[in-house]
Chain A
Amino acid sequence: MTAFALPAPRLVAADVLKLRKNRSLAVVTSLLTIGAVAITVLVIELMHVANPAKNGPVGGVNNLGHFASLIGLLGAAAAAIVGSRVGAGDKDAGVYRDLVVTGRSRTSLFLSRIPAGAAFLLPFVAAAYAFAAVSSVALAGSNPMPDTRLLALTGLWTVLSVAFFYLLSVAVAALLGSRSYAIGVVLAFRLAITPVIASISALGVVRELMPGVAIQSLAPSALGDAARMGPAIPMSTGAVAAVLVGWAVVAVAAAGWRDVSRDA
């Protein structure tokens, strides 16, 4: 029965099916990722066409940073929505107990949901970034054009940022057993608590324990201030890895334990 405790590919596929067939979830996720970038590109381009002397072109390195920052921010909201559904969707729908009575281990059920949600969410994020990257090159105009290496690094950084908050959302939802509370907690943490703590310089090295600060420090330096939200807090790669891995391991372990120990 050891294999019964591991996430099975069919179980992951079933969890992807639950997400993929949820139209409202797909619409909201695409709006917060691809839609946000598309609208931003369209608005800037229209403004540029209307008054080129005053409004610069859509593309260029600087705007790539803005796009990455936008995807990171709204992608975190999408991550909170998708992650909370992954973490607590079965419980909210009342079907969790029906999965438990199959005899499948709760650990396996929990671990299968994590890659399923990522498989649903990250293609939206990747598509949004791809659109932003193409726009930053094709519509660079007189602005400095990002090179391939910068495009790749920025893409990885953007996906990492969203993926981390997705994982955190899954864990928080599984811990709380509630989608709505989890969305609130994760968004508050990402959009309010992290910037506030990061801005309190008196906290010193404690600020580096915040995952948002660690992710921010990984932003490609070529993007400059364009991709930054809050003060620049330099961290070594090792410290960043330790903070992110530490948060991920603790959050997933706590959520997995809660999932296994609570009444189904």
Chain B
Amino acid sequence: MHTTSISPYVVETQGLTKSFGERTVVRGVDLRVPRGSAFGYLGPNGAGKTTLIRMLLGLTPASSGQMQLLGLPVPERRADALARVGAIVEEPRFHGHLTGRENLRVVAAARGTEAFDRIDGALEQVGLTARAGDRVKTYSLGMRQRLGIARCLLADPELLILDEPMNGLDPAGIQEFRVFVRSFVEEGRTIVLSSHLLDEVEKTCDHVAIVDGGTIVAQGSIAELRGEGHTLFVETDDHQLARRVLGESTAVERIVDDGTVLAVSILDARVIPDLNRRLVEAGVSVRRLEPQQASLEQRFLEITTRLENAA
């Protein structure tokens, strides 16, 4: 795959702000989307997700701030950047009286000669080859979503920006979409997926930014945001001995014993194999050694609750 830039981030914004009159919907956003990631842009409805995407794509001007797409400043070099970007903003829309293939031809005409050669491959990739000759007005919402992705693929995109892409997909469609995202990212490409569905973002993405009230309140890898591994649940045949062994490690901050399970607070998840080794060498039979799996939803609620309390 040809890449247009060596920047480690495919999307970077600095102090990006958008106001409509007195109302500010995007407020000083500093966003960094790592190259080759499946990036979730997560927030409730009305958080300013779509407005940020619209600014990135040049559909609406920013009130202030800077943006770079694929390492290129926009809007100054918007055309160069967008040549390798595919996007679905809000729901995918088409000319209903044209067939799926004709709708792709219309967009390919705007993109350039190479895009025409990608039409068949894009239709095949989204499983619409058999229905490509049917008018789009006969398509289901799920089929339109897939045709929207096929339209994005005409750009041979380094970056795919999808706004609420799982709307209208049935469970099988969602599963297919996750597989598509993984294969897309494995090719070294990047996908930015805006959604209000925390669970879906958690299952599909490896990096995330949480946005609320037009501001990014947290961003990083999913593991970082979940705080994964900072609490360890341990079950053994000898809790007393296990407590003593674990307590000797400088990586352990605190141990709470409820009689059945030890809840061990640790500074760094990387020490878990070492703790396991210590227990086994001390003759403790370990039945369970499990990092706490806090969900993104828990973290999201913690963050937004903290912000509400602070306000």
Q: Do A and B originate from a single complex?
A: yes
Task: Show the binding face of A for B, using Cβ within 8 Å.
Answer: 1, 4, 8, 10-11, 13-14, 17-18, 21-23, 93-95, 97-105, 109, 263-264
B81 interface contact, C-beta 8 A: yes
Q: Which residues of A contact B82 (CB under 8 A)?
A: 101-103
Across the interface, A93 reaches (CB within 8 A) one of B89, B93, B113, B155, namely B93
Instruction: Give bound CA distance, A100 to B80, whole Å.
Output: 13
Cβ B107 vs Cβ A93 within 8 A = no
Contact indicator B80/A263 (Cβ below 8 Å) = no
Q: Which of B54, B98, B108, B155 contacts A18 (CB 8 A)?
A: B98
Name 5 extra pairs, CB < 8 A, besides A21-B98, A103-B78, A103-B82.
A10-B116, A14-B106, A22-B97, A93-B96, A102-B83
Known: A93-B95, A102-B155, A264-B59. A1 touches B107 (CB 8 A): no
10 contacts between A and B (CB under 8 A): A1-B80, A10-B109, A14-B109, A17-B106, A95-B103, A97-B59, A99-B107, A100-B59, A102-B107, A263-B59
Asked if B243 is at the interface (CB within 8 A of a chain A CB), the reply is no
* Contact bitstring B112-149, A, C-beta under 8 A = 1, else 0: 01001000000000000000000000000000000000
- Nearest CB of chain A from residue B271's CB, rounded to whole Å: 47
The answer to whether B60 touches A263, judged by C-beta atoms less than 8 angstroms apart, is yes
Complex interface: chain B residues within 8 A of A264 (CB):
58-60
Residue of A nearest to B96 (CB): A93
A4 touching B79, Cβ below 8 Å: yes
Residue from B80, B81, B93, B105 within 8 A of A98 (CB atoms): B93
Cα–Cα, bound, A4→B81 (Å) = 13
Q: Is the CB of A11 within 8 A of B110?
A: yes
Most buried by B among A4, A10, A94, A105: A10
Does B235 lie at the interface of the complex (its beta carbon under 8 Å from any beta carbon of A)? no
Contact B59 A8 (CB under 8 A): no
Most B Cβ at <10 Å: residue of A11, A21, A103: A103
Determine which of B54, B80, B94 lies in contact with A95 in the assembled complex, contact meaning CB atoms within 8 Å: B94
B residues less than 8 Å from A263 (CB atoms): 54, 59-60
How many B residues face the partner with a CB closer than 8 A?
34
Task: Please determine whether B58 and A100 come into contact, CB atoms closer than 8 angstroms.
Answer: yes
Instruction: Output the least CB separation between B137 and chain A (Å).
Output: 11
* Cα–Cα distance between A99 and B105 once the two chains are bound (Å): 11
- B87 at interface by CB-CB < 8 Å: yes
- Asked if B102 contacts A101 (CB within 8 A), the reply is no
- Give Cα A13 to B108, complex, Å: 11
**C-alpha gap A22/B98 in the complex (Å):** 8
* A98 touching B102, Cβ below 8 Å: no
- Across the interface, do A103 and B98 meet the contact criterion of CB distance under 8 Å? no
Beta-carbon contacts of B33-46 to A below 8 Å, as 1s and 0s? 00000000000000
A99 CA to B116 CA in the complex, in Å? Answer: 15
Most buried by A among B60, B98, B110, B111: B110
B155 to chain A, nearest CB (A): 7
Judge whether A13 and B109 touch: CB under 8 Å: yes
Residue pair B105, A101 in contact (C-beta under 8 Å): no
| Cβ-based interface call for B262 (8 A) | no
- Closest B residue to A18 by CB, please name it: B95
Is the beta-carbon distance between B109 and A11 smaller than 8 angstroms? yes
| Nearest-CB residue, chain A, relative to B87 | A101
Contact call B93/A94, Cβ cutoff below 8 A: yes
Q: Which A-chain residue is minimally distant from B54 (CB atoms)?
A: A263
Q: Which residue of A lies closest to B98 (CB)?
A: A21
